[in-house]
Homo-oligomer: A and B are copies of this chain.
């Protein structure tokens, strides 16, 4: 996979946005960049078991990997966050968005590994995700927020029920 070859190449210069067959790789600064580096990517080639492990870490209900695979393939955008130490990489964050490729996008499955929370990394992943959507000329970015993350999204510029518009979920009668 070209993406990781790049990361592990000592002459790696991918410290600014790069594009590689629709993929994208961005490094952000952390406290100790010599030991661990954080990268963002839009590459969809994510190990499903590693993603499941990440979702397990925040206590999400397990989902059939067949369906997770399809959801990743059919999402408009998939963003992931990786910690790289030496030649090891670890998936530490994930988000994806559905879209009509024209007007709107809805962000789903935002997850940050608990050990990497409260460091501003969730904010960085969301900003990266929003930037990617805006770069595709999507003007209406939406999501459905659990109560405990409403303030987190509010600080990123998300507005609750603008003009009284309410999120609704369908359940069988």
Contact = CB atoms under 8 A, between A and B. Distances in A.
Contacts of A100: 70-71, 74-75, 96, 98, 108
Main SS at interface, chain A: mixed
Given A100-B71, A103-B67, A165 B167 contact: yes
A5 interface: no
A104 interface: yes
A173 B126 CA distance: 14
A159 to B, nearest CB: 5
The range of chain A's interface size is 35 or more
A82 interface: no
7 contacts: A71-B102, A98-B100, A144-B168, A145-B166, A145-B168, A157-B172, A161-B167
Interface of A: 63, 67-68, 70-71, 73-75, 96, 98-104, 106, 108, 130, 140-147, 150, 153-154, 156-173
Which 6 A-B residue pairs are closest in the complex by CB-CB distance? A167-B167, A147-B164, A74-B101, A71-B102, A141-B170, A158-B168
